[in-house]
Amino acid sequence: MATAGVSISREEELRRHLAQVNDPELDEPVTEMGFVERAQVKADGSVEIDFRLPTYWCSPNFAYLMLDGIRKALDGLSWSPAYRVRLHDHMFAEEVNRGIEAGKTFGQIFGELSGDQDLESLRETFRVKAFKRRQEAVLCGLRRHGLTDREILGMDLAALDVVRFEPGEAARQMPRYRAALLERFPGRRPQDPVFVTCEGAGIPTSALNAYLAELRGVRINMEFNGALCRGLKHTRYKETDVVDGEPTLVDFILDRVPERATQTLT
């Protein structure tokens, strides 16, 4: 019983850690996107992960960022297990998997395959998009909560932390936005405004509508790409039947885009 209890506890911890790894382009957990097809704690405590992306040609840069996130998640497990991560059905799967088996870091693998590409610059691009998407959800949620624009833009961390949203996107994104804010601006004082641009500039009340329009554009693009990724993966691995050949882009949009994303397109 003790062994079974330890196994269950480790499996739960593994799931929690993997759920913190995001698709960098979409700012959605790789577990929710369905990219982690198997995550298993073996009897000896080691961990095996099978990872699969929507297409054979998914950007290798994005793949490496996610795999690097998985590596860090596994390194953070409390029992420090040996682990094996396998990327399947990708044009660089062989190189990535061989590099892992040889004990190379993902950064080393990326450098060998990409030449002079700047991985950190790519990370920053995605951090900015995630910051904006999370911030938009919270700002809109506070407006629906009945606060004025002046009240919202004057909020500090203490004021934000007492807000209780109904279940939904604002409630989901608020702790994620808070984390992104403190990660981006680690020297932020408790009394500083919590709503600033990704460069740290204040947002004038008169400019909030225009600012939200910019954030909305970022969010719609990310949601649309996310819907396509889900549809591509769903169809590629034959979770549904495809009639009369391969589905088209229109099929994905009409049949598989989530309701919220569909509403933004109409």
Summarised one tens digit per residue, pLDDT across range 243-253 is 444 444 444 44
Report all structural domains of the chain as residue ranges with CATH numbers, in order of start.
2-115 (3.30.300.130), 122-260 (no CATH)
Q: Residue 52: beta bridge partners?
A: 88
Q: Is the pLDDT of residue 128 over 60?
A: yes
Q: Nearest CA to 67 among 89, 96, 45, 42? A: 96
With a CB cutoff of 8 Å and minimum separation 6, the contacts of 44 are none
With a CB cutoff of 8 Å and minimum separation 6, the contacts of 192 are 156, 157
Q: What is the mean pLDDT of residues 45-59?
A: 92
- The pTM of this model reads 0.81
Banded pLDDT at 231 (limits 50, 70, 90): confident
With a CB cutoff of 8 Å and minimum separation 6, the contacts of 217 are none
Q: Is the pLDDT of residue 240 over 60?
A: no
Q: What is the mean pLDDT of residues 12-41?
A: 95
Write phi, then psi, for 23 (nearest 5 degrees): -65, 120
Q: Residue 22: beta bridge partners?
A: 29
Q: Give the orientation angle of helix 208-236 with respect to helix 119-144, to 10 degrees.
A: 120
Q: Is the pLDDT of residue 5 over 80?
A: no
* Residue in the block written with tokens 């909305």: 216
Q: How far apart are CA 95 and CA 101, in angstroms?
A: 10
Q: Which two tokens stand for residue 31?
A: 């577990």
Q: Which two tokens stand for residue 161?
A: 């932390």
Q: What is the mean pLDDT of residues 225-248?
A: 66
Q: Which two tokens stand for residue 193?
A: 């405004």
Question: Are the CB atoms for 78 and 42 separated by under 8 Å?
Answer: no
User: 257 vs 76, which has greater pLDDT?
Assistant: 76
